[in-house]
A and B are shown apart, each in its own frame.
Chain A
């Protein structure tokens, strides 16, 4: 199994004491599978995605990626996991503003030491970015910027792609278009895709769907 989350709990501190966000959630995702994680604001979707990506550690339970528990990884091993195995697509795109589109797409692959210029070019073509490679992120529309972020993720050939509200900053038409490209390209590479979204139409495009409410899976 590519990703297994077993009975994880997580709370955040507040002035009134710890606020539980996840209260024992479990899920699994196989390679090539797509899963939409939906729920109201504050239901714990993004927290669960952060735990799956090794961006944060759970208070209890286990997070296994390819069978290995990452809960107790130190910073260096978590960084390596994000570099080589898991990749995250953010709502805010999080491109590097001082690098042009071409360099942004190649960036994570270079970081992981497996940059393939032909594959990056191919991705740029498929994402409709070939004419924009020498532009900077600020010169692109929101939809184009999210395509660059998808390209950056896929260029590194991760085995698990996590997307946090990838269409949240886009209008409906652009969002649908970006979502289709993302799903098609991810599944074509054989990677697993876990998408956190409010969007019903985006959730409908995924192979499976799971809803969180009050920190629990429904």
Chain B
């Protein structure tokens, strides 16, 4: 019985391979977009964990300076002499090689804290002697080929973009004297005095949590990606839902016959569930493979984005992770269950004597429109509550999701209302039939149109956000990058020689010093700047300020903080803040796009008093634009500055904008993919609905409308529905943009952007969606145009 029943059910797909392809493609595409994003996230998180495990050490306590800053060699020696088992670490970055350096002392650090050491592959005597060696991941070694650095030893397990070196080698490479922190490698010897007595400015800290700061900083980026992946998956599920519903409805007479011939209801539902499960497994596997391809294409851009935005190193290639494969197939099965549950339930409840009406599903859809309307109102209510009653990123995404769902659910009703208004303009029987028929088609096409609405709204929303960001960011860069040249000296001696040489040749030299130090209780950075300079006064973009802000900062009476810090802790002008033990007042707040860390700007004199060990190695140089080339030549030839240590304003802008563009390459790609999926949804819906249109079209044909005219009207109908959907998607997209800019961005990144509108982009998108709809409708229209009259006559010959 089961074999016979299954063969009857499966024979449907043999006779309708295109419909099967639609279902498999829809599910595979949805799974691909979701699992592709998950693959990227998993790869990035694995890289963070790897990096955090290396940088945080093997769960060892650390000793660090309480107020931030480095630990002097003398302090380390004092601790060792007092019986404290501590091992020093130097951390820094070689900007010209884009390489993080981690200097360790292999004699005092436990072997399991050194990568590769447990299998004896890490290093030999060359690590400690001569020019030293650096331990790097194979891919980093590849990237550093030919670089002017100590010999490289390749070791698996080191995060990309990071190098291990002996502490002496690291000190020489970074030009640093102090240590970033000390690992506590064992208990202090008996009688050792407590830490506060030996070095009161140092404090002992627990091991850093796995995942580390980088993972925390990048969480919002990954949450954004996940949200987009979920949206794409939802759009894909609309196709699956439509294809399953259609396949079930087309087979309704078969189900009735099977029941009449003695197949029990539970067995029928069970067989259909098995059929769906098999389809989900096959499509899921295909989707995971496609997702792999998508992720492989996108991950270099994601890696560049994460490096540019957060300094987080992520491997540019993908690893095969069984958990990812399983979760991809799992989400395909779950999605199919979700998409097919209503159809299965309807089949289970189908009375055996229910008339097997073709397009009963469409009528049922029309009946369900009001229920959908109620759902839309409920979702809008959830969005309002999330928007007004709750704060936080999760509330932001609930607002986003509920608003989109409300719009999608309201679409059929809105389209029906729009078509009802338009139908009043109908003159003559042909137009009247066209409008009435179009309204009748809406329930059947509503799932595909909902998918289109979501894709278009996402395009408008994300496009508006990106373009607003681009416009604001470009203006902000123009303001903030006021110096014509930026240069970095290798050593304090070279910095001194540089400033001496530049003095008579430039309008102004602006030292830029910075130190990592906690701000309002979390890791942050403090910059020392020449606040008296008109360069800052004229160019630094302030979004809130107290009177005489720059004079007070220059006099060391107050500080500026970035928007992120101001929003997070409510530190607006007039608020108090403590920096490295110095209580002061916030005098202004500046925009600081793209920086995930809290930041404060301090007048140079005050900065030097607070951080006496900090050395000025970075400088902004004000010079007439036509003199920059000569100045660069002079600095390299006469002072010995490396060419790659000098950047001109234009190249920094280009570099920053490059990072920016790559940041949104991923969202742009997902945007295009989502729109393509929506186009596919329309195509498949039209093709499948076309097969059931004969009884509706044949009478009109018999009454005198040619097949060519009918085909043209079908084409026009698809374009019209897409146009109406676009009109409705536009406000939804703008709402989405507002939520992204005013809620999600502020919660995720800490800064707010002004929203700009770009009507030309909308026009282009409208054109694209109309072309997609016309292309999708073309094949069914051509089929109708070529349909033999005999087939249309079958409608009258036999009851269908």
Contacts and interface: CB of A to CB of B under 8 A. Distances in A.
Contacts of B256: 94
A77 to B, nearest CB: 9
Interface string B264-283: 11110000000000000000
A80 B262 contact: yes
Given A55-B352, A97-B254, A103 B7 contact: yes
Interface string B12-51: 1011100000000000000000000000000000000000
Given A98-B12, A110-B4, A75 B265 contact: yes
Nearest to A168: B799
A126 B470 CA distance: 80
Contacts of A80: 262, 264
Interface string B83-117: 00000000000000000000000000000000000
A55 B354 CA distance: 11
Contact of B4 (A53, A75, A84, A107): A107
B8 interface: yes
Nearest to A87: B261
Interface in A97-138: 97-99, 103, 107-108, 110-113, 136
Contacts of A198: none
Given A88-B260, A111-B1, A169-B799, A96 B265 contact: no
Contact of B15 (A75, A97, A110): A97
B289 to A, nearest CB: 29
Contact of A107 (B261, B267, B798): B261
B262 A111 contact: yes
B694 to A, nearest CB: 12
A96 to B, nearest CB: 5
B609 interface: no
Nearest to A112: B262
A136 B11 CA distance: 12
Contacts of B356: 92
A82 B260 contact: yes
Given A55-B353, A99-B11, A94 B257 contact: yes
Contacts of A98: 8, 11-12, 14-16, 254
B798 A142 contact: yes
Contact of A83 (B1, B7, B254, B799): B1
Contacts of B799: 92, 169
A200 interface: no
Nearest to B267: A79
B3 interface: yes
B596 interface: no
B263 interface: yes
Contact of B264 (A75, A87, A88, A99): A75
B637 to A, nearest CB: 83
Contact of A56 (B11, B353, B798): B353
Contacts of B3: 110
Interface in B250-307: 253-254, 256-267
Interface string A51-93: 0010110000000000000000001100111111001101010
Contacts of B262: 79-84, 108, 111-112
Nearest to B261: A108
Interface residues of B, number: 30
A216 interface: no
B375 interface: no
Interface residues of A, number: 33
Contacts of A111: 1, 4-5, 258, 261-263
Contacts of B4: 107, 110-111
Nearest to B352: A55
Contacts of A108: 261-262
A106 to B, nearest CB: 8
B113 to A, nearest CB: 66
Nearest to B12: A98
Contacts of B16: 98
A79 B262 CA distance: 4
Contacts of B5: 111
A183 interface: no
A107 B254 CA distance: 12
A50 interface: yes
Contacts of A96: 8, 11, 254, 257-258
B261 to A, nearest CB: 5
Interface in A19-55: 50, 53, 55
Nearest to B268: A79
A101 to B, nearest CB: 13
A2 B4 CA distance: 28
A55 B265 CA distance: 12
A201 B231 CA distance: 64
A155 to B, nearest CB: 11
Nearest to B8: A96
Residue among A53, A83, A96 with the most chain B CB within 10 A? A96
A103 B12 CA distance: 13
A152 B263 CA distance: 15
Contacts of A76: 264, 266
B666 to A, nearest CB: 43
Nearest to B256: A94
A83 B5 CA distance: 12
A50 B353 contact: yes
Nearest to B15: A98
A56 to B, nearest CB: 6
23 contacts: A75-B266, A79-B262, A79-B264, A79-B265, A81-B262, A82-B260, A84-B262, A90-B260, A94-B253, A94-B260, A96-B11, A96-B257, A99-B11, A107-B4, A107-B261, A108-B261, A108-B262, A110-B3, A110-B4, A111-B258, A111-B261, A112-B1, A169-B799
Given A75-B266, A96-B11, 18 more contacts: A55-B352, A55-B353, A75-B264, A79-B259, A79-B262, A82-B261, A92-B356, A94-B256, A96-B8, A96-B257, A97-B15, A98-B11, A99-B7, A107-B4, A108-B262, A111-B258, A111-B261, A111-B263
Closest 6 A/B residue pairs (Cβ): A83-B262, A98-B11, A110-B4, A82-B262, A79-B264, A98-B15
Interface of B: 1, 3-5, 7-8, 11-12, 14-16, 253-254, 256-267, 352-353, 356, 798-799
Interface of A: 50, 53, 55-56, 75-76, 79-84, 87-88, 90, 92, 94-99, 103, 107-108, 110-113, 136, 142, 152, 169
